[in-house]
Structure 1
Amino acid sequence: MPEPQITVNGHPRPLAGVPAHENLLDFVRGLGLTGAKEGCAEGECGACAVMVARPDGDGSRWTPVNACLVPALALDGQEVVTAEGLGSPGDLHPVQAELAVRGGSQCGYCTPGFVCSMAAEYYRPDRTAGPDGFDAHAIGGNLCRCTGYRPIRDAARALGEPAPGDALAERRSSPAPAIAATRLAGFARPRDLAEALALLVEHPDATVVAGSTDWGVEANLRGRRAAYVVAVDRVPELRVLSTDGVVEIGAALTLSEVERALGDTVPLLAQVWPQFASRLIRNSATIGGNLATASPIGDLAPALLALEATLVLASAEGDREVPLADFFTGYRETLLRPGELVRSVRVPTPLAPLATFRKVAKRRFDDISSVAVGAALDVVDGTVVRARIGLGGVAATPVRALATEVALEGRPWSRTTVEEAAEVMATEGTPIDDQRASAAYRSAMLGNALRAWWAETAEPAHEEVAR
């Protein structure tokens, strides 16, 4: 087995002796590459952003990630580029040059992270030059506290095409590095599912990580340490995606990968992605990891509950399939048995023709839900024949709004029905008062979510009937 190492800005850097809890940010700063900063240590500010070469068809894609969250050992065999690797004071990268010319940096603390996120968007394969070619959501996970965003946006909108001979642009035509099977003290990256499951039997106290967007926060802010870490983010069997009949999504696919692969295939999920954290987080967070953490305020669970999703759970004894509605057993607790992994998420088809995702938070983007609602309806000849509604933020687990579903089914899809069902929905769950919202506010938002959906989807004919 080759010696573990990361290629950083074109230079191999050994990983021998790096502890399992050390994140990539601390690792690159230990190399003297101090451009990337720790701002929040939980993936909200983007000051730590770096670029990683990820697979993209037969080639590769420069993908920005939060270096403060991912374990350095999880990048064994991979290629990383920091702001220092993009340009130098005497030879600025186009992104750096535009930021400098347009006044996009003041104190400079956030700038290296902005540079890496903007550079990844600059190298996006299907980006077009010009003001409308740059996706502003690409820097949605990067926060600036002094300059303001207008000059940063102006710099982004001014970017042209990569020049001929740009090494990072040319790198995209070659495959991303093959995933190395890694075994180090306290850390393993298995080569396949069988090895992953064997490791979990061998180390029953192991912590399983994929994107590490949850565990990384625990390690950074709460000092949590794992007796043994098993990284499953590149296990091939966990990275499948199929839309042949049932939609099946591998548990180790990142949310960005699922978003690109599915497009509008599952419209309800297409509504979730732009509201789920930031692009930086979605580039690392996995669909299986998001569900297995069992957060009651996660955004995916309400939508997947409305879609009647099931989970395939894998162990050394074989696979079993369980409804997502039965998966959550308590606060941060699930049906997962020792030695078991989430293998994939299955969404049955055909999909309900009416669907919505509603998220109430203090910020429109890059924030945690106070309340989240996913809903899917089958309406035939004006009558609701099937209703499925998932809720987040109103109980110790994500839950189905069963009473509201009953209040809708068999009745006309009308304002009167919606108003009565909204009153029922306001009583669902057991919301609490906390720093994000009061229980009364959460209950009110549940009912209002249904009313707002009706207001957006009702046709004039429906309005006349309601009057």
Structure 2
Amino acid sequence: MPEPQITVNGRPRPLADVPARTNALDFLRGLGLTGAKEGCAEGECGACAVLVVRPDRAGSRWTPVNACLVPALALDGQEVVTAEGIGTPDDLHPVQSELAERGGSQCGYCTPGFVCSMAAEYYRPDREADGFDLHAIAGNLCRCTGYRPIRDAAQALGSAPASDALALRQASPAPGPAPTRLDGFARPRDLAEALALLAEHPDATVVAGSTDWGVEANLRGTRASYVVVVDRLPELRGLATDCPDLEDVVEIGAALTLSEVEAGLGDTVPLLAQVWPLFASRLIRNGATIGGNLGTASPIGDLAPALLALEATLVLVSADGDREVALADFFTGYRETVLRPAELIRAVRVPLPLAAHTTFRKIAKRRYDDISSVAVAVALDVVDGTVARARIGLGGVAATPIRALATEAALEGRPWTLETVEAASAVLAREGTPIDDQRASAAYRSAMLGNALRAWWFE
């Protein structure tokens, strides 16, 4: 097995002596690359953003990630570019130049992170010359409230020149995952090796995008006895929307990032297409995986309510083979699941055909990049004016994500009218066991539940 290393700004950097607990941000700053900063240590501010080469259908693409969350060892064999590698004071990159000329640098603390997120959008393969998706920088926080000049700088960017070295890099494939074995850390080469490692280390922490575990490590000082990274396992990265062997389901590999699922599915599953823009930020979705999001069993995760409404199942894999579990039966308590020792989520399956009418409603203090107080996902089939089938998933109102079974029963077999909606809304307001916490009161959560169907009806 070759010596572990990361290529940083074109230069190989050894990893052999890096502790498993070290995140990529601390590693990079230890190299003297101090442009990336720690602002929040939980992936909400983007001050730590760096670029990583990731696979793309046409070759590869520069993808921004939060360096404060990713273990440095998880980037073994990968190529990373920091703000220092994008341009220099003597040779500014167009992104840096526009930020400087338009007053977008402010105090400068957040600027390198903005540079990396903006550069990723600048080099996006399918970007129009006069288009810049401002959601690309939604995960970057400016504490000086100087968003207008930052926006102006972003919208002033033209096309990336074809001869640009960073643009040329995207024409070649991204490096493959490097199998890694170091003290307290392993990146297995395949699923069989991963399962063997989990059997050998029953207390191991399984990490993919590390958007949840990274927060635990940074803010709570949690340490893993052994880390097994599964984000690049080929057996966990399939996406089948028209597979002959799976004609009645859409199957999504558990190690696909949410950005990859979003791009791969497009509008195939409309309810999920409603979720993606409201799920954290692009920086988080570039790292977070669908399996990791469900495996953490958070009661306030946005994805579980939608998948509950879609009646999704999970394919769990161990040395004994696969077993399929309904998502509604997967959660057993607060942050607890039916996963057995040495077992992984291999895939998520969404049964077909899909419901004809769907909605996802997220109630939070901010429109984007925030944690839900309440999340409601609804999937309905209405035949000849009557609700033939209703499935409703809820988040933020119980110790686990739940199905609103009583409300489903109050809808099915009844005419899809305002009268039915009002009656069902009264039932929905009583679902779950909401609590008072820093995000919302129990009374507010119940009120938002009661309003969800009614608001959808009037829309």
Aligned counterpart, 2:429: 426
Q: 1:284 aligns with which of 287, 293, 298?
A: 287
Aligned counterpart, 1:214: 212
Q: Which runs of 5+ in 1 are unaligned?
A: 457-467
Q: 1:161 aligns with which of 141, 159, 181?
A: 159
Residues 4-44 of structure 1: CA distance to partner in whole angstroms, max 9, x if unpaired? 00000000000011111110000000000000000000000
Q: 2:381 aligns with which of 374, 378, 381?
A: 378
Amino acid at match of 1:444: A
CA contact (8 A) 1:113 1:142 kept: yes
Aligned counterpart, 1:25: 25
Aligned counterpart, 1:183: 181
| 1:357-372 mapped onto 2 (5 Å cutoff) | 357-372=360-375
Measured after TM superposition, the shift of residue 57 of structure 1 is 1.9
Amino acid at match of 2:251: E
CA contact (8 A) 2:106 2:146 kept: no
Amino acid at match of 2:65: V
Aligned counterpart, 2:10: 10
Cα separation, 1, equivalents of 2:105 and 2:91: 17
1:336 aligns with 2:334: no
Amino acid at match of 1:242: A
Aligned counterpart, 2:411: 408
Measured after TM superposition, the shift of residue 58 of structure 1 is 4.5
Cα separation, 2, equivalents of 1:58 and 1:352: 33
Residues 83-138 of structure 1: CA distance to partner in whole angstroms, max 9, x if unpaired? 000000010000000000000011100000000000000000000112xx100000
Aligned counterpart, 1:464: none
Cα separation, 2, equivalents of 1:303 and 1:221: 29
User: Which segments of structure 1 move beyond 6 Å, counting only runs of 4 or more?
Assistant: none
| 1:33-72 mapped onto 2 (5 Å cutoff) | 33-72=33-72
Aligned counterpart, 2:146: 148
Cα separation, 1, equivalents of 2:239 and 2:86: 33
Cα separation, 1, equivalents of 2:360 and 2:456: 9
1:114 aligns with 2:151: no
Q: 2:171 aligns with which of 167, 173, 176?
A: 173
Cα separation, 2, equivalents of 1:163 and 1:386: 53
Aligned counterpart, 2:86: 86
Q: 2:393 aligns with which of 387, 390, 393?
A: 390
Q: 1:251 aligns with which of 254, 258, 262?
A: 254
**Secondary structure in structure 1 of the residue aligned to 2:55:** strand
| Cα gap change, 1:405 to 1:235, in 2 (>3 Å) | same
Residues 162-204 of structure 1: CA distance to partner in whole angstroms, max 9, x if unpaired? 1242000000000001211110110000111111101101111
Identity, % of aligned positions? 84
Amino acid at match of 2:304: A
1:137 aligns with 2:110: no
Q: TM-score, normalised by structure 2?
A: 0.98
**Secondary structure in structure 2 of the residue aligned to 1:91:** coil
Cα separation, 1, equivalents of 2:57 and 2:14: 28
CA contact (8 A) 2:407 2:427 kept: yes
CA contact (8 A) 2:236 2:347 kept: yes
**Secondary structure in structure 2 of the residue aligned to 1:280:** helix
Measured after TM superposition, the shift of residue 147 of structure 1 is 4.5
Aligned counterpart, 1:319: 322
Cα separation, 2, equivalents of 1:451 and 1:423: 10
Q: How many residues align?
A: 454
Residues 317-363 of structure 1: CA distance to partner in whole angstroms, max 9, x if unpaired? 11100000000000000000000000000000000000000000000
Q: TM-score, normalised by structure 1?
A: 0.97
